[in-house]
Amino acid sequence: MIKKEIILTSKHHNRSFAVDLRYEPDGTPKPVVLFVHGFKGFKDAMHFNLMASEVAAAGYVFVKMNMSHNGVTPEQPLDFVDLEAFANNNFSIELDDVELVIDKITSEGLGVSAEEIDTSSLCLVGHSRGGSVAILKACEDTRVKKLVTWAAVPDLERFWTPDFLADWKAKGVQYIKNARTKQDMPMYYQMVDDFEAHADRFRIGSQLTKLAIPFLAIHGDEDETVPVESLLMLKSFYPAAETFRIAGAGHTFGGKHPWIDTQLPDHSVQLLSRMISFLKAS
């Protein structure tokens, strides 16, 4: 399997971020799957590399990207060492980062030879809040031909209660505890300002009325972070969506960080089996 990592530069704050890809070279142009991580996530977290290799082995060029302001750096890709960048993140930045990667895929194939990559066939995949970003980008970018979400958040405002927002505005910052690293991760109020300035663009329900491509939404029915009822919301927004509920699965489908096993957890095996069937369907 060929594996490669490249560094791109966001148009926001000149931030560098890493993108990697993998594929099995066989002289046949392969569709592209671009994966977007979620909140407090990064492209090499948990079992994402193992999942990427499984999809690549099924006949795809699998691309994973860090968000430019997710708090990790190309030099320290596994740790949140830049909390100032994290604090300055917002949905406009994330959508622009995804667009930049799509630009690089469709214009340059990320350096993969034309005999190995079909840049006209792109599926966007996202986990958790990354699923929300994937939905929004797919709704506005016709280069995305299929969409898959894993435990997606169906409403980006759902965790912003009036009291939380008032406190956030008064202080200018809110801190979110990272249970794994024990870090207090800051978010500046500029995220709310950005949302309010582009609210129509960021409202998933209204944006999904514009979608006209195959969409598969996957969720665990024991998700402790984003309730499985989110599937019903997404289906109501986009009735043509296919949904897949995994019995007993939590928010990370059995994954945790670090992942040291050489095998995938059963819930992730189910997820990938269903996703690959969806990708291969015409």
Give pLDDT, residue 57.
98
Is the whole model's pTM more than 0.85, yes or no?
Answer: yes
H, E, C per residue of the chain: CEEEEEEEECCCCCCEEEEEEEECCCCCCEEEEEEECCCCCCCCCCCHHHHHHHHHHCCCEEEEECCCCCCCCCCCCCCCCCHHHHHCCCHHHHHHHHHHHHHHHHHHHHHCCCCCEEEEEEEEEEECHHHHHHHHHHHHCCCCCEEEEECCCCCCCCCCCHHHHHHHHHHCEEEEECCCCCCEEEEECHHHHHHHHCHHHHCHHHHHHHCCCCEEEEEECCCCCCCCCHHHHHHHHCCCCEEEEECCCCCCCCCCCCCCCCCCCHHHHHHHHHHHHHHHCC
Total domains in the fold of the chain: 1
Q: What is the pLDDT of residues 14-58, one digit of tens each?
A: 999 999 999 999 999 999 999 999 999 999 999 999 999 999 999
Q: With respect to residue 33, please indicate whether it lies within any of the assigned structural domains.
A: yes
CATH label of the domain that carries residue 114: 3.40.50.1820
Q: With respect to residue 12, please indicate whether it lies within any of the assigned structural domains.
A: yes
Q: Residue 196 — pLDDT band, cuts 50, 70, 90? A: very high
Identify the domain containing residue 74 by its residue range. Answer: 2-159+202-280
Average pLDDT rounded to a whole number, residues 230-235: 96
Q: Residue 158 — pLDDT band, cuts 50, 70, 90? A: confident
